[in-house]
Amino acid sequence: MEMLLLGAGLLLGAYVLVYYNLVKAPSCGGIGSLRGRTVVVTGANSGIGKMTALELARRGARVVLACRSRERGEAAAFDLRQESGNNEVIFMALDLASLASVQAFATAFLSSEPRLDVLIHNAGISSCGRTRETFNLLLRVNHVGPFLLTHLLLPRLRSCAPSRVVIVSSAAHRRGRLDFTRLDCPVVGWQQELRAYADSKLANVLFARELATQLEGTGVTCYAAHPGPVNSELFLRHLPGWLRPILRPLAWLVLRAPQGGAQTPLYCALQEGIEPLSGRYFANCHVEEVSPAARDDQAAQRLWKATKKLAGLAPGDDDDDPDEEPEPEDPRAPSSQSAPSPEKTTVSGPSRSYQGSQDLSKLTQRRIQVKDEPTP
C-alpha cells in the first residue's frame, strides 16, 4: 500500500512538473483596447482560432472570421458575439485550398472593410484526409494560400500601419526539409503527410523571415508563432474513430486547451515593443531560436519565388505598383480559353452585409510591389 501511495505521489509530482513547464501557457498581455481596429483570423470557427478571435472581440476589435464552412463559421460568429458582448464579429467565406476563393475573399474584404490592422494566419491542416488533389494540399492550405492572401491584403495593411501579420507555425518545423524539386507534388499516405506537414510549418517560418525583410520600413511587421502542444481538432480530426476515445483523455491531461494555445499568437498580435523582432519565431510568448533550416536566408528567398509561382503570381509582381493587388491563377480554375465559373463570397454579421460574385477573368489585374533585398 505504501509503495502504491509513493508511486501515485511520484506520478502526480511528475505531472505537475510537466504541466507547469510544458502544458500551462503564459497569459497574453498587450494592448488592452482594440476599439476601431480590424483583425482577420483564418480558421476561427473552432480551436485556437476561435479562442484567439474571442479574446480580440473581448478587447473591442472588429473581428472577421475567415472560414471554409459557412455553417460552422456563422455559428462561431454568433457564439463569439454572445460570449464577448461585441457585435462586431462577422463571418466571411475562405477556402485556402482554392486560389480563386482566396482572391474572392480578398476582393470582398477590400470592398467592404476600410481597415486591416492585424492578419492572423491560423487555419491549417495536418492531413489530406480522403481528399486527393493533383498538388500538395498541405502546402497549399498551410503556406501557399496564406502567402497569396497576405499579398492581396498588403495594401490595406500598409495603409493602416503600424499593422501586423501573425503566422501560426509549429515546433514541427524542426523536422522540415524542403525539396524544391518536389515542392508541390501530391501527398499520399500518412508518412508523406507527416513530412509534408513539417515542411509546411518550415515554410511558415521562412515566409515570416523573408516577409519581414521585404516589408522593412513599411510599418508592417510579421511573426511566426508556435501555439504549443494543443488539444484541438487538428490533433484528433484525422485519427481513426476507434483511437479517439483512447487518446482524448490523454490529450486532455498532457496537451493545452485551445485557450492556452491562443496565447502566443495573441502575444505576437498585441504585445507592444516587439516590432524590432519582426520575422522572428515565438513560443510561450517569447522569442525562440529556430532550426538551421529555418534561418537559411537563401532558402527563404528561393521559397518566396517558388511560392509566387505556385500562387499564380507573375515573376515581375515585385516591380509594380505597391498600392495594387496581384491577380492569381487557380490551377483548379478553367483555362483562359474557357469561361470560368463565378466565385462567390458572402459576408454575414449584424453590422454589415456584403455579397459579391466575381468572374475571375474580369477581375482588375493588379500587382503588389515589395522590396526585393537580401536579408542582412
Beta bridge partners of 65: 41, 91
Question: Tell me, what's the pLDDT at 21?
Answer: 44
- Res 189: pLDDT: 85
**H helix intervals, the chain:** 2-18, 47-58, 70-84, 99-112, 137-139, 145-159, 190-214, 233-236, 244-254, 258-261, 263-270, 297-310
Active-site pick, 15, 19, 20, 197: 197
Distance CA 150, CA 145 (A): 9
Residue of 308, 328, 333 lying closest to 318 (CA atoms): 308
Distances in Å between the alpha carbon of 186 and those of 99, 141, 189? 17, 13, 10
Tell me the β-bridge partners of 165: 119, 222
CA R_g for the chain: 21
Residue 90: exposed, middle, or buried by beta-carbon count in 10 A (0-12, 13-18, 19+)?
buried
- Could you confirm whether 197 is annotated as catalytic? yes
CB-based burial label for 115 (10 Å; 0-12, 13-18, 19+):
middle
Phi, then psi, of 205 in degrees rounded to 5: -70, -40
CA distance 189 to 168: 24
Going from the C-alpha of 97 to that of each of 131, 132, 144, the distances in angstroms are 11, 12, 9
pLDDT of residue 105: 98
The three-point CA angle 86-48-122 to 5° equals 95
Residue pLDDT tens, the chain, 376 long: 656 655 554 554 444 444 444 455 567 767 779 999 999 999 999 999 999 999 999 999 999 999 999 999 999 999 999 999 999 999 999 999 999 999 999 999 999 999 999 999 999 998 877 677 889 999 999 999 999 999 999 999 999 999 999 999 999 999 999 999 999 999 888 889 889 999 999 999 999 999 999 999 999 999 999 998 766 665 555 555 666 666 666 665 666 688 889 999 999 999 999 999 999 999 999 999 999 999 999 999 999 999 999 999 977 665 444 444 444 444 444 333 333 344 555 556 654 444 443 333 333 333 333 333 333 4
* Rounded Cα–Cα distance for residues 66 and 73 (Å): 8
Q: DSSP class of residue 256?
A: B
Residue labelled with grid coordinates 485556437? 48
| Residue 27 DSSP one-character state | P
pLDDT of residue 191: 87
Q: What local confidence, expressed as pLDDT, does residue 128 receive?
A: 79
d(CA 302, CA 70): 36
Asked if the peptide bond before residue 162 counts as cis, ω within 30 degrees of 0, the response is yes
